[in-house]
Amino acid sequence: MTTPALLPLSGRRLPPLNLGASAFPHHRATLRLSEKFILLLILSAFITLCFGAFFFLPDSSKHKRFDLGLEDVLIPHVDTSKGGKNLGGFLIHGQGHDEHRHREEEERLRNKIRADHEKALEEAKEKLKKSRDEIQAEIQTEKNKVVQELKKKDSKPLPPVPLPNLIGIHSGEPADPDIREKRNKVKEMMKHAWDNYRQYGWGHNELKPIARKGHSTNIFGNSQMGATIVDALDTLYIMGLHDEFREGQEWIDKNLDFSVNSEVSVFEVNIRFIGGLLAAYYLSGQEVFKIKAVQLAGKLLPAFNTPTGIPWAMVNLKSGVGRNWGWASAGSSILAEFGTLHMEFVHLSYLTGDPVYYNKVMHIRKLLQKMDRPNGLYPNYLNPRTGRWGQHHTSVGGLGDSFYEYLLKAWLMSDKTDTEARKMYDDAIEAIEKHLIRKSNGGLTFIGEWKNGHLERKMGHLTCFAGGMFALGADGSRDDKAGHYLQLGAEIAHTCHESYDRTALKLGPEAFKFDGGVEAVAVRQNEKYYILRPEVIETYWYMWRITHDPKYRQWGWEATQAIEKYCRVSGGFSGVKDVYSSSPTYDDVQQSFFLAETLKYLYLLFSNDDLLPLDNWVFNTEAHPLPVLHLANTTLSGNPAYR
Ligand code: DMJ
């Protein structure tokens, strides 16, 4: 008998196992047995391998399911009797069953899709039988339902918070009949502006008082957001024009909607709408204003989604997409825009208990603190992608102004506890005084503009607010320089008054120069207009409150008369194109800030100090009063959510 050959898995024939029987004659039978045993072992290993492959190779049926887009259709029951194993809720089948079940499942789905299509087709046929009007009515009903649902969601009541001390919202009646008469005159002007807007521009952002129709600019986007209504509310309230206030409230309640596909200025919407709504809320206690302010603020938040957290200048209220003004240096955001959010955002956090608003503005502050400032000055442009300054232009007028104002007011509004803001203000003002403030040959103090290392000896109407700011910040200034800053405020007020006094209409131009023999006078034709701006009157009012020097009331009255004489038309009030021409042409715009600021500051100028006292109220840059948060040692709020 020949020794059986071993057939290995590879199929190659191996030589017979020849251990030399003669060497172990008594083991011959034993060796045959071991060969069989090895053969058995190899066979059983082979069978185990086949089983392993069967269970562990990927289940192709799964891929098939995925390709069909049915990966989320799980077989609903577990039938282990048919070879299925229940592993943590998922069913694993024997392959044959699996394919069968999936075929069934696909068939079931196909039938369902067919049935759905047929149903949709039937419905479409039914629809087509209806008239166009019926279809439109149905669509409208559906839309209304969605809007109502959204409204319900948005109008959730906010958690109650202790209201700050609201002092002096109904007083201010002067005893002096002459002053009372002046105050009444200002109130009558407000009524004229409001009534005409009510009649010809209601719901539009602003009024064209000559064309007698609505007006808007790109800062408000393309929607009718009733900017004049929101901006005017608190002025109406403090003047005691309660019917008008109620009309405004009703419009806001029913019509002010922020779910619009409209690209707005974050800054303007903040100072006019959020500031206006918050002030109206604090004065009247009407919840609707608070709710609207919070809804709107939510729509502005996507503007902060930039690589640095410095917000875009504009945001689309619906899509949340933001971008910057095309004219701004190297795609930059503007200092006066992203730096004028603090007051409103702190109040939003206070009222909602949600720190998100506070965190956004504090992030901006921290970022600015870390940056180098050329000559200690803040440039007007900052790129929100790179976090780098754009052109090295610095201004206390347009593009820079209210950034400085809000540093001071953050400190005041925190009951003077936000010392970080006060320090930033003091540092900034010192650098401004050193590099931007000069005296003209004729002895007029002016604030110029810093452009790449050079001082442009030109001052804007907007810059005139700084007189009031210096006076307001005098108390609490570094090195006890209160007297110095009060004096500086008085000098700026004087210069700005001169810019009014040197015109034919006794109204100030947009910008005026101190160069080549010219003093406080506009040179370029496109700087000669007056658009009902408030800044000069704002400074008169602060100077009056702080010094009680009667000349400020006198100057304020001159301006009131000039506005009445040259800007009043039968359809409201209009800006004028050339203050040096005694026969003015109108720009035909009644700006919303005329009602929010110019007329409010005039009214306050002829009121007693107990109306909105400065110890209790801080005015935002659009003259909307917000209460001081008297909360020791916190820059934020007394809202329990923060404690
Ligand atoms: C107002 O909207 C605000 O005062 C803003 O800060 C700057 N300019 C206008 C009015 O001139």
Alpha-carbon distance values, 395 to 336, 369, 451 (Å) = 9, 18, 9
pTM score of the predicted model: 0.77
Q: How far is the CA of 621 from the centre of ligand 1 (A)?
A: 7
Contact 228, 207 (CB under 8 A): yes
- CB-defined site of ligand 1, < 6 Å: 402, 462, 533-534, 593, 597, 621-622
The H or E element containing residue 617 is strand 617-619
Residue 54 has pLDDT above 60, yes or no: no
Three state DSSP letters for 328-362: CHHHCEEHHHHCCCHHHHHHHHHHHCCCHHHHHHH
Ligand 1 atom at minimum distance from 591 CA: 10
Mutate to test the pocket of ligand 1, among 273, 405, 462, 589 (most ligand atoms within 8 A of CB): 462
Residue 484 has pLDDT above 80, yes or no: yes
Catalytic-role residue among 98, 206, 401, 588: 401
The two tokens of residue 131 are 């008239």
pLDDT at res. 625: 98
Backbone angles phi, psi at 517, to 5 degrees: 85, -5
57-71, 253-267, 281-295, 351-365, range with the lowest pLDDT: 57-71
Q: How far is the CA of 597 from the centre of ligand 1 (A)?
A: 8
- Reported confidence tier of residue 125, pLDDT bands at 50, 70, 90: confident
Residue 211 has pLDDT above 80, yes or no: yes
Residue extents of the structural domains in the chain: 177-632
Ligand 1 atom at minimum distance from 533 CA: 11
Alpha carbons 541 and 547: distance in angstroms, whole number: 10
What's 177-632's CATH class? mainly alpha
The Cβ of residue 455 has, within 10 Å, a number of other Cβ atoms equal to 15
Q: Looking at the DSSP assignment, which residues form a beta bridge with residue 323?
A: 314
pLDDT at res. 582: 96
Q: pLDDT per residue over 160-176, tens digit each?
A: 787 887 999 988 999 99
Higher pLDDT, 297 or 99: 297
Active site residue 535: yes
- Determine the average pLDDT of the residues in 321-340: 97
Q: Which residues does the annotation place in the binding site?
A: 621
Catalytic-role residue among 498, 510, 538, 578: 510
Q: Of 443, 290, 303, nearest to 361 (Cα)?
A: 303
Mutate to test the pocket of ligand 1, among 533, 536, 590 (most ligand atoms within 8 A of CB): 533
Q: Of 455, 323, 338, nearest to 393 (Cα)?
A: 455
How many alpha carbons fall within 13 Å on the CB side of residue 342?
28
Residue 9 has pLDDT above 70, yes or no: no
Residue 115 makes CB contacts below 8 A (sequence gap 6+) with none
Q: pLDDT per residue over 441-459, tens digit each?
A: 999 999 999 998 999 999 9
Residue 31 has pLDDT above 50, yes or no: no
The two tokens of residue 118 are 């047929």
Active site residue 515: no
Higher pLDDT, 56 or 86: 56
Higher pLDDT, 6 or 538: 538
- Reported confidence tier of residue 84, pLDDT bands at 50, 70, 90: very low
Return the residue whose CA atom lies nearest to atom 1 of ligand 1.
622
- Determine the average pLDDT of the residues in 23-44: 45
89-93, 100-104, 105-109, range with the lowest pLDDT: 89-93
pLDDT at res. 4: 32
120-134, 209-223, 483-497, 562-576, range with the lowest pLDDT: 120-134
Q: How far is the CA of 539 from the centre of ligand 1 (A)?
A: 13
Alpha carbons 177 and 474: distance in angstroms, whole number: 32
Q: pLDDT per residue over 386-401, tens digit each?
A: 999 999 999 999 999 9
Alpha-carbon distance values, 637 to 350, 381, 548, 628 (Å) = 5, 31, 33, 10
Active site residue 401: yes
Catalytic-role residue among 519, 535, 588, 622: 535
Q: How far is the CA of 501 from the centre of ligand 1 (A)?
A: 22
181-185, 198-202, 425-429, 478-482, range with the lowest pLDDT: 478-482
Higher pLDDT, 28 or 103: 103
Catalytic-role residue among 98, 244, 268, 587: 268
Residue 610 makes CB contacts below 8 A (sequence gap 6+) with 168, 171, 172
3-state DSSP assignment of residue 415: coil
Ligand 1 atom at minimum distance from 461 CA: 11
Q: How far is the CA of 398 from the centre of ligand 1 (A)?
A: 9
- Reported confidence tier of residue 149, pLDDT bands at 50, 70, 90: low
Ligand 1 atom at minimum distance from 531 CA: 11
Backbone angles phi, psi at 215, to 5 degrees: -145, 150
Ligand 1 atom at minimum distance from 597 CA: 4
Q: Which residues does the annotation place in the binding site for Ca(2+)?
A: 621
Return the residue whose CA atom lies nearest to atom 10 of ligand 1.
533
Residue 32 has pLDDT above 50, yes or no: no
Active site residue 268: yes
Q: pLDDT per residue over 212-266, tens digit each?
A: 999 999 999 999 999 999 999 999 999 999 999 999 999 999 999 999 999 999 9
pLDDT at res. 56: 41
Q: How far is the CA of 348 from the centre of ligand 1 (A)?
A: 21
- Determine the average pLDDT of the residues in 132-142: 66
The fraction of the chain above a pLDDT of 90, given in percent, is 71
Residue 43 has pLDDT above 70, yes or no: no
